[in-house]
Amino acid sequence: MAKLLATFEKHRGIALLIAGGISATGFAPLNLWPLTLLCLALLMHLVVKAESGKRAFVLGWLFGVGHFCIGNNWIATAFSYQAAMPAWLGWIAVFLLALYLAVYPALACWGAWRIAKFAAPASPKATIPFILAFAGCWIIAEWLRSWVFTGFAWNPLGVIAVGDAAAPAIYIGSYGLSGLVIASAGILLLLVSRTWRPALFLALPLTVLAVTALVVFNTDSIDTVIRNKAFNKRQVELTIVQPNISQIDKYAPGYDAINFSRLAQHSQPKNERPRLVLWPEAAIPWRLEEGYPFRYYQFQPGESAQGARLTLMRLMNPGDVLITGVDRLEFDKDEQLVGARNGVTAMDSSGKILATYDKAHLVPYGEYLALRWLLEPLGATRLVPGTIDFWPGPGPRTLNLPVDGRRVKVGMQICYEIIFSGQVTDRANRPDFIFNPSNDAWFGSWGPPQHLAQARLRAIEEGLPVVRSTPTGISAVINADGRIIDSLPHKKAGRIDATLPLAKAPTLFALYGNILPLAFAALLIACALLPLARRGASR
């Protein structure tokens, strides 16, 4: 082991670039999380030996480049569906994005090195203060990554623990959970270094936190039981549709009728019970609202909004409510198209539009072209077909819908909105569940399972079921514990008929959001600085 570590130290830049790539295999679909812990332990071992804060930053950045190049490889697939740009540009985009995202682990490494040297300047090896500082700085870095330049929060480290091991997320969210992953890797490093006592000292409080959270996680409160009995006297029936419409076919000329027939085939009622029918993001190209110029109703049933709604009504039982992804349009006073909204529309079986929601967290370069004035002359365009940018909606919203004689509160999060921890519900109007219509057909084979894993983490954090409907999968019903009740595999057409899982009482994280992981990070850093306080007191 000593010889191997010496080799890594000699070629630490290359070693960390490779280790960063290997660390990404801990995410879905491979789920090789022990490798992630080993690679993080190596990162900490090499950072603590860095000669300067600048060197620690560079080492963290190299690790991040490898980590994000492999973890985000699915982004390259999206470029293969955009005829206006060459497919190979996708791999350039993955690499360039990794160069930027790597700044965040680099900042965490720099911060941990500075704090450790400040608290224990003579220590050349990993100690408890260094590990605590590393975990605290990593939490802050991931939180920054979630909002700086609109944010790209994909795959925080904590998602490798999704399942029972993610129970602490009910207190400290996914970013705090990432801190626990770092601390676990630190314990592994202490064990490899044969520093048994510090490893046990660090493992004990983390174990107590994890066990306490797990007990709470698996215990329904009295409030939860009473509230759910009142809500669920008759269970809410769901029909989730996955038509298996590929991205190549979605916008191909003449495919509208074929695509709709697949949606219709899997939406027919099987009995007379009223249902909530859930379709994917941008499921249909029709305009369901009145008031657009006539030209925008051509090529849809009846060449009108009413004709489109009548066609949808034929698929529904009396009392059904359909929630479908559908783009909505924005015009200027001269009826010129100036923008679009990626939204959903909820419609009852009489054709009445009950509510709409517009996606708030849009994908840069996917749904709008940032720096259009600079990039458009260079031949760049957004990935979604068309030249008009999408406009953002106001943020998380709860739709209050009548289903089978009761009001069902549906929290809406379209596509990758679901990855933003602490930003997925309207806390003033807590929903009964979160609906996450998405179009993962862009995302190759790695993107869909990673997206699903992050949706499961939102269920755990919020104590709410999450229901996903996507064109090609993975569609799923996830209960409030983050467990998958039912799902449809990738690239398979079908439907899920299920009853809505019960919500839990609001978790601590659901009540207070990301102030909790940030407070946890502050606590870890404060503990890392205790040796400095003790030295000051002894003088």
List the chain pLDDT tens, one digit each, 539 residues: 556 656 666 678 899 999 999 999 999 999 999 999 999 999 999 999 999 999 999 999 999 999 999 999 998 887 766 555 566 677 888 999 999 999 999 999 999 999 988 876 656 678 889 999 999 999 999 999 999 988 999 999 999 999 888 999 999 999 999 999 999 999 999 998 888 888 888 888 888 888 888 887 777 655 565 555 655 556 899 999 999 987 776 666 777 788 888 999 999 998 889 999 999 998 998 999 998 999 888 889 989 999 999 999 999 999 999 999 999 988 888 888 888 899 999 999 999 999 999 999 887 766 665 555 445 545 555 555 566 788 889 999 999 999 988 899 999 999 989 999 999 999 999 999 999 999 988 788 899 999 999 999 999 999 999 999 999 989 999 999 999 999 999 989 999 999 999 999 999 999 999 999 999 999 999 999 887 656 555 55
Query: Quick one: which of 87, 155, 145, 65 has its CA closest to 449?
Result: 155
Q: Return the structure tokens found at 122.
A: 């003579």
Distance separating alpha carbons of residues 357 and 19, to the nearest angstrom: 42
302 dihedral zone (left: phi>0; alpha: psi -120 to 50; beta) = left
170 dihedral zone (left: phi>0; alpha: psi -120 to 50; beta) = alpha
**The pTM is what?**
0.91
Distance separating alpha carbons of residues 402 and 348, to the nearest angstrom: 9
Q: Which residues pair with 315 in a beta bridge?
A: none
Helical ranges in 152-195 per DSSP H: 169-192
Residue type (1 letter), 490: H
Distance separating alpha carbons of residues 132 and 525, to the nearest angstrom: 6
Class of domain 222-504: alpha beta
Distance separating alpha carbons of residues 487 and 124, to the nearest angstrom: 49
Domain ranges of the chain: 2-220+514-538, 222-504
Q: Which residues pair with 339 in a beta bridge?
A: 330
